[in-house]
Amino acid sequence: MKPIIGYDSEIPDRFPQLSWACILIEGVSNEPSPMALTAKMRLAELEVREALQSTPIAEIPAVAAWRRVFSSFGAKPTKYRNSLEALLRRISKGEALPSISYLVDLGNLVSISCRVPLGIFDVDRFAAPAKIGFASGDEHFADLGSSETDHPEVGEVVFTDADGELMTRRWCWRQDRRFASQPETQRALVIAEAHHDEGPQDVAAAVRLFADLVAKFSPEIQITQLSAPILDEKSVD
């Protein structure tokens, strides 16, 4: 079976503490979230705010590790917040996370609960296999929430699909709107990644929680655990 996603061979060498897990979900109805899921989100936000009273965001192991990773490829971490940190900062300011869609809300709930960034991509919108690797600088990026397009920095860690189209910038900073989940999304790739000492446990917990929530709210959805192999040139041809 052709892989859906994988890593450039240099990634494990540069980031030896990387831990990851990904699942494919099929049969999605990506409508507005049910009220019970939104209620879970509000409860999780309260728990996060309480936890942040004793632990500054920058001292959360997952956040600190992602900051080091961003710095290593030239992205100033206080300017470019990884997706987990961005969510936590909104919550710390007393903001409620907006309810966007079933998949996005699930991802945000799991991310803040397990302290792990999650990426969610519409599988039918990108050419597989997607690869997590280093940007050449020539790729085009269409920022989610913006009508502008730009280019990544050379050496920046990005997701690209098999056609060379950019799917994320700065690893888990921003997603390209072309590949984000849409109301019509039926199949989605969910990937959780971490670089801190407890990363393997937190990543596993995130994927498990995501699957448990799907089973609770959408038992008809099929879930498949995926590998994320090292991709050589042959695997992306």
Q: Which residues contact 186 (CB under 8 A, 6 or more apart)?
A: 26, 27, 28, 29, 30, 124
Q: In angstroms, rounded to a whole number, what is the distance separating the alpha carbons of residues 53 and 106?
A: 25
The structural domains of the chain, ordered by start, are 5-236 (3.50.40.10)
pLDDT at 86: 97
Per-residue model confidence as pLDDT tens digits over 176-214:
999 999 999 999 999 999 999 999 999 999 999 999 999
Q: Which residues of the chain have pLDDT under 50?
A: none
Q: In angstroms, rounded to a whole number, what is the distance separating the alpha carbons of residues 5 and 201?
A: 21
Identity of the amino acid at 37: L
Per-residue model confidence as pLDDT tens digits over 28-51:
999 999 999 999 999 999 999 999
* CA angle (4, 8, 14) in 5-degree steps: 135
Identity of the amino acid at 80: Y
If you write DSSP's letter for every residue of 59-101 in order, what string do you get? GSHHHHHHHHHHHHTT--TTTS--HHHHHHHHHHTTPPPP---
pLDDT at 233: 60
Cα–Cα distance list, 96 to 42, 100, 108, 109, 114 (Å) = 7, 12, 11, 12, 18
Q: Answer whether 157's CB lies under 8 Å from 74's CB.
A: no
pLDDT at 234: 55
pLDDT at 140: 87
Q: In what order do the strands lie in the sheet with 222-226?
A: 118-122, 187-194, 19-26, 222-226
